[in-house]
Amino acid sequence: APTSTTAAAAGAAWAGPSPPVAAPSSPAPSFPDLEVPSASPGASPDAAWLREGSADWEEREDIGVVELPAEVSRPHVLEQLCGAFGRTLIHWAVDAKKLDSQDKQQVSPHFEVRFPGHEPQTFQLVIYPTVVNDGRRGAGFKKAKGRGRLVLKCQSLGLPTNFPHVSFILAIGKGELRQPARGPVLHNFVEQTMGGLPKKREEWDFKSGVDDSRTVTASVELWPSSSSAFA
């Protein structure tokens, strides 16, 4: 056969040791399609929440690391994972020292969200401390003892009018310190740039989620929704 003749000729011309044989390349990992959950009233708070490390997500981007001693594992400041149908999962590591500051907000690095059929848009997470009083320092994290609310903000200017409503779930902490996820919430970012939980469920105890890395993880999972009815 022509293949055997060519291989024999190549072997005769090779004067040195046997040439290395390239290892067969591994097939690219496949990610199964995910069923997009609805944000209908009465939906389970954990209906769409995928456990950390699920094979249904592929890593997208890591931005920076938190400064910690060498013996402590350094979490990425922002970890972004992407799934089917434009589903996006964000984990944001917040420095625990900020929870004892007089700051009136903590803002995550920007991240891009890509929904099928739409241009990528820029979002970020924001933490606001619970307002304790109307004094000059009554709205800082120290006065609030680390309690506050977590919101999702769209930073893109001039969203197209056909940009879909967004369903999202929020959670804080990781591992044994992770608090139950809340949501889903349905929000129209074309009309209002910031979306959060209903007022009765918006407060989190961020200090309760601080782990050995001296950070607390704030997470959001979001996906496009075709529904126009708010949950």
Give the pLDDT of residue 58: 53
Question: Could you tell me if 85 and 116 are in contact, meaning their C-beta atoms sit under 8 angstroms apart?
Answer: yes
Show the tokens assigned to 142.
């120290």
Q: What is the 3-state secondary structure (H, E, C) of the chain?
A: CHHHHHHHHHHHHCCCCCCCCCCCCCCCCCCCCCCCCCCCCCCCCCCCCCCCCCCCCEEEEEEEECCCCCCCCCCEEEEEEECHHHCEEEEEEEEHHHHHCCCCCEECCCEEECCCCCCCEEEEEEEEECCCCCCCCCCCHHHHCCEEEEEEEECCCCCCCCCCEEEEEEEECCHHHCCCCEEEEEECCCCCCEECCCHHHCEEEHHHHCCCCCEEEEEEEEEEECCCCCC
Q: 107: pLDDT confidence band, cut at 50, 70 and 90? A: very high
Residue 180: pLDDT over 80: yes
User: What are 12-32's pLDDT values in tens digits?
Assistant: 333 444 444 444 444 443 333
C-beta atoms surrounding 227 within 10 Å: 13
Reported confidence tier of residue 76, pLDDT bands at 50, 70, 90: confident
Q: Which residue has the tokens 């310190």?
A: 177
Backbone angles phi, psi at 47, to 5 degrees: -60, -35
Token readout for 206 is: 């961020």
Select from 144, 160, 67 the least CA-distant residue to 106.
Answer: 144
Measured between alpha carbons, how far is 123 from 35 in angstroms, rounded to an integer?
23
Residue type, 43: A
pLDDT per position as a tens digit, 135-164: 666 689 999 999 999 999 999 998 999 999
Pairing status of strand 121-129 against strand 111-113: antiparallel
Q: Quick one: tokens of 166?
A: 């967004």
pLDDT in tens, 188-216: 999 999 999 999 999 999 999 999 999 99
